[in-house]
Structure 1
Amino acid sequence: MIVKCVANKGSEIGPYRRGLFYTPETRFTLSIGRLYDVFAMALINGSLTVLVADDYEKPAWLPLQLFEVEDSSLPADWEFVSHDIGVDSSGPGDLVCEARWGYSEVAHSDAHFYGLEERDPESLRVFDAERSRRA
């Protein structure tokens, strides 16, 4: 899947699409018009996010609304996991991941999923290996 950046500020996403992890003042490290490979997708707090390598070549989970889909084909080896969220016990500001699909580690490993945002060295190594494999 390949997406093209059409917005890089929180204020460029309509208020009904704003998630809990950014504000109107947020500036995303993306370049308008640039194409980005999508390495995974996640449903977080009811919003679809995509995992791309940002302009610093770091993994970033970002709202799909920042992009237009250029190539909608998905890799044959992607895997899907739905999380039984049951009763939403999250507090204000909590992120609830309801489903993930992508390469095996991002779909199945909570440690890898959260490690990408936390810049965990092992999670970054796995992400970089996935990027290299797909290049």
Structure 2
Amino acid sequence: MLMRCVADSGADLPPPRFGLYHSEQTRFPVTVGQDYRVHGVLVYRRGLIVLVRDDDGLPNTYPVELFEVVDGAFPDGWKAVFPLEGDQGHQAVFGYPELVDNDEHLTALQEREGAALRVFVDMAAEE
């Protein structure tokens, strides 16, 4: 799946009602006009977020409203899970096997744990 960045600040987005929260001053490390490979799609707090490797080279989740779809095909091998954690957690996760099968993988990515980052880098190299 490939998406093009259409906005890079909280001021460019509607007020957050669901998903990840931001302020008008939030600056996202993505570049308008640049394409990003999507490595996961998640429903979080009833909002849609995407997992991409941002301009810092790190895996991060961002509101889907920052992007437009260039190629909506899911990569081979993607899986899905519907953990139904209520309004304050993930209601759906679509992505590579470790993201879907391991409840701790996303948290480990966000905390920049070495093993999780290696899995992400290896997976991204294969896509």
Question: What TM-score do the two structures reach when normalised by structure 1?
Answer: 0.87
Matched pairs, number:
127
Q: Distance in 2 between matches of 1:64 and 1:36?
A: 12
Runs (4+) of structure 1 moved beyond 6 Å? none
| Cα RMSD, aligned residues only | 1.5
Match of 1:112 in 2: 105
Q: 1:48 to 1:60 in 2, by over 3 A?
A: same
Query: Any idea what SS the aligned residue of 1:125 has?
Result: helix
Partner residue of 2:70?
Answer: 70
**Equivalent residues in 2 for 1:84-99 (5 A)?**
84-85=84-85, 95-99=88-92
Q: Distance in 1 between matches of 2:115 and 2:47?
A: 27
Tell me the distance in 1 between the aligned counterparts of 2:14 and 2:49: 15
**CA–CA distance in 2 between the matches of 1:12 and 1:113?**
26
Conserved 8 A contact 2:16-2:22? no
- Shift of the 27–66 alpha-carbon distance from structure 1 to 2, 3 Å rule, reads same
| Secondary structure of 1:110's aligned partner | coil
Q: Deviations over 1:24-53 (max 9, x none)?
A: 211000000000000111100001111100
* Runs of 5+ unmatched residues, structure 2: none
* 8 Å Cα contact 2:84/2:91 also seen in 1: yes
For 2:42, the equivalent position in structure 1 comes to 42
- Contact 2:9/2:25 (8 A) holds in 1: yes
Give the TM-score normalised by the residue count of structure 2. 0.93
Q: Is the 8 A contact 1:30 1:54 kept in 2?
A: yes
1:10 touches 1:18 (CA, 8 Å); kept in 2?
A: no
Percent identity between the two aligned chains: 36
